[in-house]
Amino acid sequence: MHPVTTVHYLVVGLALLLIGTIGVLTRRNIVVILMSIELILNAVNVNLIAFSRHLQDLSGQIFAIFVITVAVAEAAVGLGILIALFRNKETVLADEVDLLKW
């Protein structure tokens, strides 16, 4: 059995980043876009933890905790905006949101 190295973690982080980026760029549903942003933030966390483990330094893990905190706040604010948008427009499709148009 081969040991898990930093490269393995970076490949997982890259996969999460690609899936999240494709989700943000191609989807119309705001819920799916928010989940894709969470995937991107989790890719950052995997990379921070991997480099923290590789360098034997805890600062990457501390930064990962801050990223998790920001992700929780982003999810709460995003879902609040999404609920308000759904109550006003009765849709969750990003293409149909035109509240800022004149």
Q: Rounded to whole angstroms, how far apart are CA atoms 50 and 60?
A: 8
pLDDT of residue 63: 95
pLDDT of residue 100: 67
Tell me phi and psi for residue 14, to 5 degrees: -65, -40
Q: What is the pLDDT of residues 4-16, one digit of tens each?
A: 999 999 999 999 9
How would you class 41 by CB atoms within 10 Å of its CB: exposed for 0-12, middle for 13-18, buried for 19 or more? Answer: buried
Q: Which domains does the chain have, with CATH numbers?
A: 29-93 (1.10.287.3510)
Counting as low any pLDDT under 70, the low residues of the chain are 99-102
pLDDT of residue 11: 97
Q: What pTM, to 2 d.p., does this model score?
A: 0.87
